[in-house]
Amino acid sequence: MSATPARTIGVLGAGTMGAGIAQLAAQSGARTLLHDPIGDALECGLESIRAALARSAERGRLAPDDADAAAGRLEAAPSIDALADCELVIEAAPERLELKHELFGALESIVSERCVLATNTSSLPIAALAGVCARPQRVVGMHFFNPAPVMRLLEVVAGPDSDAVALELARATGRAMARHVIDAADGPGFLVNRCNRPFGLEALRLVSERIAEPEQVDRICRVGGGFRMGPFELMDLVGIDTGLEVARSFFAQSFGEPRWRPSPLTARMVAAGRLGRKTGRGFYDYRGGPHRPEDPELPAGGGGGAGPLAIIGGGVHAEALRAGAGAAGWTLADPERTSEEPAWLVVDCVGGALEDDAAWQSGPRVVLCAEGSLGMLDPAGSAVGFYTLPSSGLVELTRTQTSSALASQRAVEFFGSLGRLAEWVGDAPGLVLGRIVCQLANEAAFAVGEGIGTPADVDAGMRLGLNHPVGPLARADALGLDHVLELLEGLGEEYREERYRPAPLLRRHVLAGRLGESTGAGFHDPTPSAG
């Protein structure tokens, strides 16, 4: 089904989001009517849109004639009655259910039966808004991301009664606004915000357990994971109080889903008045100078070859380390031979007891902490633990009371020769980044399995709506779904909590041999070759 985009669009609410949506509507070629019950707010919103269009023309993002034409299509609607001729009305009022009920009730008495009523809510169920309407089939979600003129994503959310005509009008209008449109079913956080829950919640758990400090978690996510901003910087930017309210809403709407349990750490921060940037202090201090130092330079790499190096195991981690070691000049021990000298370092990507008695296995050892913590994988042993993404510029290292100083020193030297910055953290399965990226993939797998969205829409939404460097399911396919499942099961074994239970769809994919890129199919199927 295809639809023509709405040509007359009303926007309810002239705040930051409402003004941004109205700007997109006017730029799309639609007659745009902006309403706010507060006259000063309406005038301020109109002026901010005109100023934004002028800046876009000055910076070459819009042709001057196009900017002028868009400004000409923008009209003030002093009264809600002025929206009577709209084909689509997008509500962008504050997130108060009673207020939105009042607005939707007023709109239904004004607009035609064919007018689609959309809400930009990011937290309230579409069902709760449509349920008070005489025609719930025309109510949909159109969730834009802030700032709307910059963020390229639009999430079109289907309520339980939304009909195909209303949804397709919303999609067509979003495409006319030059947004990438994804579909989501109604539910807590819809698709994108739901799938992002572990980014902050798992980071809070790591800090609460003293696995790492907030600035470490953020640095690991930026340098090791490619994220533009770490979770604690993001919490400070959004507002810790806002994040806590969102967490409480998720937890309440899900009737206590363990994966979405709010963190006591944020509650304490809010009680102390440390709400983030807006109060000058949150997880960082913003009251003078930069809130954090610049990320350190990565090691230059190279200089390997101090002795034979053993890399044990298969999978993407072992293969990436072998390739990096070869490029850095290391001599790799031959696993088929048993009479070689002890290895300078054994890099164990298997994580269990070594079965072969080759002499080179007696060297100092560093163990991939995926299926368990270092304490579980090498109890009372002298090894050091590590976790790194295959193409990362950072490696996390951990040690126990019995880890040897030699293993610690050589682990830093080895990973430095691969150009990877070393970050020492506490012990746990997956350390910091492994836990976060695998929990992101797991939440996305739950959402896909429950029919909230498709793998393609999950990944596009996380990249375009939240600036993730790669979608969580694409990253899971690259890591190997068996690796993701192994790490989650390691967390489950360590903590014995429902929080870490693997999504059924993830487990089914692994059982079916759909392991990701290594098998040609995972959450994403390979693209058929032309011809």
User: Which residue from 226, 244, 135, 287 is spatially nearest to 462, judged by alpha carbons?
Assistant: 226
Phi, psi of 29 (to 5 degrees): 105, 0
Q: Which residues contact 59 (CB under 8 A, 6 or more apart)?
A: none
Q: Verify whether residue 193 is a known catalytic residue.
A: yes
Assess contact for 146 and 17: CB atoms under 8 A: yes
SS3 assignment, position 228: coil
Q: How many CB atoms lie within 10 A of CB 299?
A: 18
Say which of 91, 120, 143, 524 is annotated catalytic. 143
The answer to whether the CB of 396 falls within 8 A of the CB of 431 is yes
Q: What's the burial of 208, exposed, middle or buried (CB within 10 Å: 0-12/13-18/19+)? A: exposed
Cα separation values, 367 from 105, 188, 305, 373, 485, Å: 61, 38, 20, 9, 18
Which position among 122, 196, 373, 408 bears the catalytic label?
122
Identity of the amino acid at 346: V
Number of residues that this document lists for the chain: 531
Selecting among 155, 233, 371, 489, the annotated active-site residue is 155
Alpha helices (H) in 254-314, listed in sequence order: 264-271
Strands (E), 7-99: 8-12, 31-35, 74-76, 88-91
Catalytic: 47? no
122 has catalytic annotation: yes
**Mind giving me the DSSP string for 310-353?**
EEE--HHHHHHHHHHHHHHTPEEP-TT-S-SPPPSEEEESS-S-
Strand order of the β-sheet with 116-119 is: 74-76, 31-35, 8-12, 88-91, 116-119, 139-144, 153-158, 180-185
What are the tokens at 40? Answer: 């000063």
**What span, in angstroms and rounded, lies between the C-alpha atoms of 348 and 368?**
6
Q: Which residues are catalytic?
A: 122, 143, 155, 193
